[in-house]
């Protein structure tokens, strides 16, 4: 069965609101978006098609010069950023205090929660979505900060079941922070390098759902993931095996013949509620959720990672989605000013 793997979710109220916001309020006025991005992110996100569409809609992307004070640049309507480091965070927070009229995507202190895999998933664990056509949780996990030799005993005391996925605790944007390993036996656990998070591996049919959030918009895509692990493999494998990033383990699964039970996208009400609750809890508008369905359990889902400002360039139609989102931010602010005047 061939299934289309990309679906956008937006409820009727959001559609009406977006329609009332667009097109831009002031055709002759440019919406200036200052961006502070890594060279890699600039290449993947600021593609010619995006910049061309943005110009037609009155949006101008301007690079922020890191060698000059931020207050001397602009003026900006929006600051779009994905840089790490305490120094940049301080610069941006100081700028925002002096220029509260500027929209910052997203607040640095909110982003910090996604730089640690322990705090990253806390908001998901606290959600109650039992009335939304499914249950969403996080795999059981254990944080190890030091002493590799203590890991086997810690895993036993925590009651975790092998195999375990080992992930670096800190997510700092580097390639190393996304290196994953799969540990099959107790003895090999002491070979891991803390600080890390050990997460129970959940069989999920080898398919992962990437749930992209852009403000109110939700777009879902399938990706191939790690294959299921059976009891025979657990008994006959030993050691720690390096694996690729789960979300990048293979090409898109959008146009591949898959078992419908595995390929079926999560229900719309579930994703709408999950996206809305996480936006509120995280205080973020640009992120994606890596989500799996437990194999054999149609309504049981797990969030295994949350990423700030993900690779939107891989999402079909992202140019229209992102430019509409930027315009809606300004329109919302303008609408609030009118209601308060």
The three-state (H, E, C) secondary structure of the chain, written as one string = CECCCCEEECCHHHHHHHHHHCCCCCCCCCEEEEEEECHHHHHHHCCHHHHHHHHHCCEEEEECCCCCCHHHCCCCCEEEEECCCHHHHHHHHHHHHHCCCCEEECCHHHHHHHHEHHHHCHHHHCCCCCCCCCEEECCCEEEECCCHHHHHHHHHHHCCCCCEEEEECECCCCCHHHCEEEECCCHHHHHCCCCEEEEECCCCCCEEEEEEEECCEEEEEEEECCCCCCHHHHHHCCCEEEECCHHHCCCECCCCECCHHHHCCCCHHHHHHHHHHHHHHHCCCEEEEEEEECCCCCCEEEEEEEEECCCHHHCCCHHHHHHHHHHHHHHHHHHHHHHHC
Annotated binding site for ATP: 117, 167, 199-210, 225
Mean pLDDT across the chain, nearest whole number?
86
Residue pair 197/158 in contact (Cβ under 8 Å)? The answer is no
User: Mean pLDDT throughout 59-80?
Assistant: 93
162 pLDDT band, cuts 50/70/90, is: very high
Q: Which residues contact residue 167 at a Cβ distance below 8 angstroms, ignoring those fewer than 6 apart?
A: 117, 180, 196, 197, 199
Q: Tell me what pLDDT residue 9 has.
A: 55
128 pLDDT band, cuts 50/70/90, is: confident
Closest CA to 82 of 338, 312, 327: 312
Closest CA to 247 of 318, 313, 311, 169: 311
Cα separation of 63 and 83, whole Å?
Answer: 13
Helices 318-340 & 48-56, crossing angle to 10 degrees? 40
Residue pair 332/31 in contact (Cβ under 8 Å)? The answer is no
Annotated binding site for Mg(2+): 290, 305, 307
- Report whether pLDDT(10) > 90: no
Burial class (CB in 10 A: 0-12, 13-18, 19+), 137: middle
Domains parsed from the chain with CATH numbers: 31-106+324-334 (3.40.50.11370), 113-308 (3.30.470.20)
User: Mean pLDDT throughout 144-166?
Assistant: 95
- Report whether pLDDT(3) > 50: no
Least confident of 1-10, 59-68, 167-176, 314-323: 1-10
178 pLDDT band, cuts 50/70/90, is: confident
Cα separation of 267 and 209, whole Å?
Answer: 12
Bond prior to 58 in cis (omega within 30° of 0): no
27 pLDDT band, cuts 50/70/90, is: very low
Please provide residue 50's backbone torsions phi and psi, each rounded to the nearest 5 degrees: -65, -50
Least confident of 1-5, 34-38, 94-98: 1-5
Tokens representing residue 321 in the block = 């989605």
Q: pTM to 2 decimals? A: 0.86
154 pLDDT band, cuts 50/70/90, is: very high
Annotated binding site for 1D-myo-inositol 1,3,4-trisphosphate: 41, 82, 178, 210, 307, 311
246 pLDDT band, cuts 50/70/90, is: low
Cα separation of 328 and 231, whole Å?
Answer: 51
Cα separation of 290 and 167, whole Å?
Answer: 14
4 pLDDT band, cuts 50/70/90, is: very low
- Report whether pLDDT(52) > 60: yes
Bond prior to 75 in cis (omega within 30° of 0): yes
User: Mean pLDDT throughout 28-32?
Assistant: 79
- Report whether pLDDT(255) > 60: no
Cα separation of 5 and 81, whole Å?
Answer: 29
Reported residue count of the chain is 341
Annotated binding site: 41, 82, 117, 167, 178, 199-210, 225, 290, 305, 307, 311
- Report whether pLDDT(26) > 80: no
More confident residue, 331 or 319: 319
Beta bridge partners of 182: 165, 241
- Report whether pLDDT(245) > 90: no
Least confident of 1-10, 145-154, 159-168, 221-230: 1-10
User: Mean pLDDT throughout 312-340?
Assistant: 85
- Report whether pLDDT(247) > 70: no
């Amino acid at each position: 069965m061939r299934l289309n793997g990309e679906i956008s979710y937006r409820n009727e109220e959001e559609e009406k609101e977006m329609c009332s916001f667009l097109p831009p309020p002031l055709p002759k006025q440019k919406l200036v978006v200052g961006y502070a991005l890594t060279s890699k992110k600039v290449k993947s996100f600021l593609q010619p098609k995006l910049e061309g569409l943005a110009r037609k809609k009155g949006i101008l992307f301007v690079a922020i010069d890191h060698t000059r004070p931020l207050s001397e640049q602009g003026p900006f309507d929006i600051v779009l950023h994905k840089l790490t480091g305490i120094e940049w965070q301080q610069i941006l927070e100081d700028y925002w205090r002096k220029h509260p009229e500027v929209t910052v995507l997203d607040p640095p202190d909110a982003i910090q929660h996604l730089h640690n895999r322990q705090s990253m998933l806390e908001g998901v664990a606290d959600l109650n979505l039992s009335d939304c056509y499914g249950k969403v949780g996080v795999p059981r996990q254990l944080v190890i900060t030091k002493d590799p030799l203590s890991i086997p005993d810690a895993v036993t005391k925590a009651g975790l079941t092998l195999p375990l996925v080992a992930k670096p605790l800190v997510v700092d944007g580097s390639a190393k922070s996304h290196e994953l390993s799969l540990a099959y036996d107790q003895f090999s656990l002491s070979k891991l390098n803390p600080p890390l998070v050990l997460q129970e591996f959940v069989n999920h049919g080898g398919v992962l759902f990437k749930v992209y959030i852009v403000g109110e918009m939700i777009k879902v895509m399938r990706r191939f993931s790690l294959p299921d692990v059976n009891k025979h493999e657990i008994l006959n494998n030993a050691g720690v095996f390096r694996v690729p990033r789960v979300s990048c383990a293979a090409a898109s699964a959008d146009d591949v013949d898959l078992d419908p039970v595995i390929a079926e996208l999560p229900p719309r009400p579930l994703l709408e509620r999950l996206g809305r609750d996480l936006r509120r809890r995280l205080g973020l508008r640009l992120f994606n959720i890596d989500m799996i369905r437990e194999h054999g359990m149609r309504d049981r889902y797990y969030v295994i990672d949350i990423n700030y400002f993900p690779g939107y360039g891989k999402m079909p139609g992202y140019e229209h989605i992102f430019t509409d989102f930027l315009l809606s931010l300004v329109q919302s602010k303008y609408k609030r000013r009118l209601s308060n005047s």
